[in-house]
Amino acid sequence: MSSAPGNEGTFRQGAFVTTRWSLILSGANSKIGEEDTRAALAELCRIYWRPIFAFVSRRGYSAEDAEDLTQDFFVMMLKGDWLQKADPNRGRFRSLLLKSLQNFLNDATDKTHTHKRGGRVRFVSWDEWIAEPPSQLSISTQTLNSLPAERLFDVRWAATVVERALRRLREECECKGRSRVFDVLSAYLTAEREDVSCASLVETLGVPQGTVKKLLYRMRQRYRWFLRDEVAQTVENPADTEDELRYLCGALAASSEQATL
């Protein structure tokens, strides 16, 4: 998995920190660093293609049309002057992306009827994007069917952020040959203390109770850091990370309420 700019230092105190999104914004009206800006934008697109595709699909397009439209949207973003047009004055990457996508689909509605598939040049590495590890998002049919496209976009976005943080934690354990530690303890990342049976974990992992507790504590800390780092890459200022997390938590709560209406 590629590292974000400031991968190990997004929250360094007192330091000026560059997130992917702030890098993109700073390069929006300048030719200097254009390549870095486009690379950062391409990386964000690669990470967040699923929310885009989910939104387009929920708008009622067939899977085939949704794929074409998602592809066209990314081409428009990466090859055009999307950022200048999008007025990135501007907000977070997530909200700007959604607004742009809504506008894009409004413009594209007529085009899809006359569009001929198969003859177009593909500019983005679509095959690479969809070849990444699958998502394991599980959602009830009732909730899924009740969500409007905008809400589904947020849920899918939240899942992407969380799954990337989990993957980075797994990779950290794996590179020490301890993927089993991740497999066993990740189930307890959000568990209340009373819900954790240290005795059974001691038996499963074959280490003393003190080590189990320390491992779990450290894994939770590390997970939190990865999560905040992932979110920070989509906001201009890392200080906005909490607000973005709160927004996504709220979106999850609202989606559940929507399902029960």
Partner 1 sequence: MSFHGFTDSLAASTSQPNECPHCHTAVRVSNGLCLRCLLQAGLTEDEDPGRESLDALLFEMEMMIPTGVSGTTRSSRRFGGAEWV
Residues 22-81 contacting partner 1, CB under 8 A: 50, 53-54, 57-58, 63-64, 67
Give the footprint of partner 1 on residues 191-230 (CB under 8 A).
192, 205-208, 211, 214-215, 218-225, 227-228
Quick one: which segment of 14-22, 97-105, 107-115, 183-191 binds partner 1 (CB under 8 A)?
A: 183-191
Task: Select 199 or 253, whichever has its Cβ closest to partner 1.
Answer: 253
CB of 15 to partner 1, least distance (A): 13
Nearby residues of 149 by Cβ (< 8 Å), 6 or more positions away? 55, 58, 59
Rounded Cα distance between 156 and 153, Å, is 5
CB of 208 to partner 1, least distance (A): 7
Task: Select 108 or 165, whichever has its Cβ closest to partner 1.
Answer: 165
Nearby residues of 4 by Cβ (< 8 Å), 6 or more positions away? 10, 19, 20, 229, 230, 233
What tokens appear for 231 in the block? 């979110």
Quick one: which segment of 40-48, 72-80, 100-108, 245-253 binds partner 1 (CB under 8 A)?
A: 245-253
Give the footprint of partner 1 on residues 150-179 (CB under 8 A).
152, 155-156, 158-159, 161-163, 165-166, 172-173, 176-179
Q: Please check whether residue 97 is in contact with residue 124, taking contact to mean a CB–CB distance below 8 angstroms.
A: no
CB of 95 to partner 1, least distance (A): 17
- Decide: is 137 part of the binding site for partner 1 (CB under 8 A): yes
Rounded Cα distance between 177 and 242, Å, is 33
Q: Please check whether residue 253 is in contact with residue 155, taking contact to mean a CB–CB distance below 8 angstroms.
A: no
Select from 25, 101, 231, 235 the one that contacts partner 1 (CB under 8 A).
231
Give the footprint of partner 1 on residues 87-106 (CB under 8 A).
none
Rounded Cα distance between 40 and 23, Å, is 7
- Decide: is 181 part of the binding site for partner 1 (CB under 8 A): yes
Residue 140's alpha-carbon distances to 114, 133, 145, 161, in angstroms, are 36, 22, 9, 20
Q: Helix, strand or coil for residue 181?
A: helix
